[in-house]
Amino acid sequence: MAAILFLLSCLFFLGANGLMYDQLYKSLVSDKPPPTIPMFNNSTPATVKMNLILTNVLEINTKDMYIDALAWLQLEWTDSRFSWDPELYGVDEIRLPQDVMWKPDIVLYNSLFIDATQDTLASVRNHGSIWTFNTIRFRTPCRRSSEHDAILECKMKFGSWVYNNQQLDLQRKLDTTTVDFSAYEENPAWEIVNSTAILNVVEYECCPEAYSDITYTLRFRQRQD
């Protein structure tokens, strides 16, 4: 009898918790917020933190001079339109489709080819913090190092396509100036000598405002047999 009561209590808890997620989802997206950048005012840009986690180097083509690689692109920002009182709903985090919200238009400026997988669900915390984690495959140009001919340098320049730095404040998520190798699988033919992750603020001839980008540089050396 005790076992039956315990099972019924578990089923009741799961059902109630599911209903709370349903209610929270409806409250957040029933009147779908417009997909506009979540700026508080004209002088406060939306802060977007970015991290590039390199997972695989599929090819380094020394004839056409490019790198073909896989990575995880992690973005984090805050949108107060997706905040709620956790005591009211009983949950402090929910997963939502990315197409119900504004998301940063971070692109790879110098891509020769890029293929992004289908958007995963976004993780949303009750205070409006949102983060996404998507897999990308890309090709970008490489060149011989000016310091050493045996070293290949490959750059990846990421930034917003339409928002200047008065609208979108792009930052590195991690307090480091290197690429994130926490999930990297070693390439059998090439070793990574070093890397950098540099935040730049650039003024272009086309536009009066400045634009931010994060440029990642990978330096490779061919392994010796």
Output the domain CATH number for residue 102.
2.70.170.10
Same domain, 83 and 6: no
Are 83 and 182 contained in the same domain? yes
Full domain range(s) for residue 28: 1-32
CA nearest to 139, candidates 58, 221, 222 = 58
- Asked whether the beta carbons of 138 and 113 are under 8 A apart, the reply is yes
Asked whether residue 27 falls in the same domain as residue 55, the answer is no
User: pTM of this prediction?
Assistant: 0.86
> How far apart are alpha carbons 174 and 159 in whole angstroms?
16
Domain membership flag for residue 128: yes
Give how many domains the chain has, as a whole number. Answer: 2
Rounded to 5 degrees, φ, ψ at 204 are -100, 155
Q: Is the pLDDT of residue 11 over 70?
A: no
- pLDDT for position 13: 42
- d(C-alpha 146, C-alpha 137), whole Å: 27
CA gap 120, 96 in Å, rounded = 9
Render pLDDT for 141-159 as a digit per residue (tens, 0 to 9).
Answer: 999 987 777 899 999 999 9
Taking the C-alpha atoms of residue 153 and residue 194, their distance in angstroms, rounded to an integer, is 10
